[in-house]
Structure 1
Amino acid sequence: MTFSSTLNAFHGTFQIPLSSEVGAWAATVEVNSFDDGYGNKGPVSSVLKPFTVAPAILTVSATTNYNNYTVGSIVVIYASIVTPGGYNFTSGAVTATTYHSSTQIGSPLSLFYDQSRGKWVGSYTVNSTNPPGIWQIQVNASDIYANMGQGSTSTLVTVPASPPQQSSTFNYLLIAAVVVIAGLTILVSWIFYGRKRVLRKVLKVDIEAIHAEAKKVENQDFFKKVQEQLKQQRKENDNTPNG
C-alpha cells in the first residue's frame, strides 16, 4: 500500500479475477503489518473491512461490417467485450441473436474470439426467405462463473420481392390451351392438305374424261368422212355410161 496525500491515507488495489467466488469477502490489515522504518508499527489489532463480490457485468459493444445488406450478402458481426477491470474478455460463450420486429431470425450464432482483432467474430448469410427491414442483433456473453453482459446493434436488410406464384388451376388451363391450339393446327392442316389431294384426283379424272371424249369426237368425224366418200363414189358410178 502507498500513502496518498490527497486522501491522507494509505491505499492499495486488488484485481478480483473473473474466476473468483461470489459472496461475502473481507479486506484485513493484520497486526503490525505497517512499519515506517523507525520502529513505529501497527495496528495493534486486526482491522477488518467486509464487502460483497458479485458476478462481473461485462461491457459488450457490437458492430457489423456494413449498414445495408441484400440477398446473398454476408453480415459479419464483431463484438468487443471488456471486463470491469478493463481487460478483454477472451474465454467464454458469446452468441449473436438476430430479430426482426421481435421475431427471431434463424438460430443464435456462436462467435469466436479473434486474437488479432481482440474481438469476437461471426457471420450470417442473408437468404431470400429472410424478412426485409431493420434487423436488431443482440450479443450475449457469459462464462462458467456467471459473469455476463450484452450489447446490440442494428442494420438494414433489403430483400427483393418474390414474383407471385401461379396457381395450379392456371397451369392446367395453360396446358389445356396449348393442347387445344395444337389440335386445331393439326386439324386445319389435315383438312387443307386432304382437300388439296381430292382436288388433284378430281382434276385428273376430268382431264382423262376430256381426252376420252376428244377421241370419241375424232372417231365420229373420221366415220362421217368415210361415209361421205362412199356416197361420192356411188354417185360417180351411177353417172358413168355403160359400154
Structure 2
Amino acid sequence: MRQIVFDTETTGFKPEEGHRVVEIGAVELMRGAVTGRTFHVYVNPQREMPDEAFKVHGLSTEFLSDKPVFAHDTIGPAFLEFVEGAELIAHNAQFDMRFMQWELENAGLGRLGNDITDTLQIARRKFPGSPASLDALCSRFGVDTAERERYGHGALLDSRLLAEVYIELTGGAQAGLDFATMGRTEEETASARITLQRPTALSLYSNAPEEAAHAEFISEMDQPLWEKYT
C-alpha cells in the first residue's frame, strides 16, 4: 500500500481570504515504511508575506519571488503525479487539503480525489484529553525534533517527523518495516526475492536412523496426548 505524508506552509489561514501555499513537502511510505522518496517545492504566492506567517516558517517575500507559481509544471502537476493513487496523510488534514484543493482548482488542475487520513484525529481518539500537536506527539513517541527546534517549521521536515509519528500511531515501526525492500522498485524487489532463494531446496524427509530414533522416543512416552484422538 502506497501512502504519502504531506504538509504545506502558507501565507495565512484561509485561501478564500487571498492566502496561498508557499511550500509543499511530502514523504512516501510503502507498506508502512519510509522509502526515501520525497517531494519538496517552494511556491511563489504572488503576494506579500504577512509578518505573522514569516515568524512561523521564515519564508520571505524576497526569497519566494523567483520561485515558480503553483500552476507551473514543477509544482501543481508534479505534486499530482507524485501522489497519484496513494492515500494522503496529514496532520490537521482539513487545513492542508483546503489549501491544496483551492490551489489546484485555481490553476485549472482539478481536485484531489485521494483517500485522506488525518493524524490529528487518530491522536485525539487514541489519547483523549492529551495534547495532539505534532510537537506533542513527537515528544510522546521520542521522535527527534532537534532540527525543527533549530530551523523552525518546514513542510518537508514536518512531513518527515509526521511520517515517524504516523508509524508509531499505527503500531510502531515494525508494523510495515521491510529493510530488504525499502527504496526498491517492484521489479527490483521481485529480483531480490529470487536471488535470496536457496539454490537447492531443503529436504522435507528424515532418514531411516532418525525415524527409528523418533519411534523409540515415542514408544517410551506415558500416554501421549494424541492417543485420545486416534
TM-score, L = length of structure 1 = 0.19
Whose RCO is larger (CA < 8 A, sep 6+)?
Answer: 2
**TM-score, length of structure 2 as denominator length:** 0.20
Q: Which has the larger helix fraction?
A: 2
Relative to its length, the structure with more strand (as a share) is 1
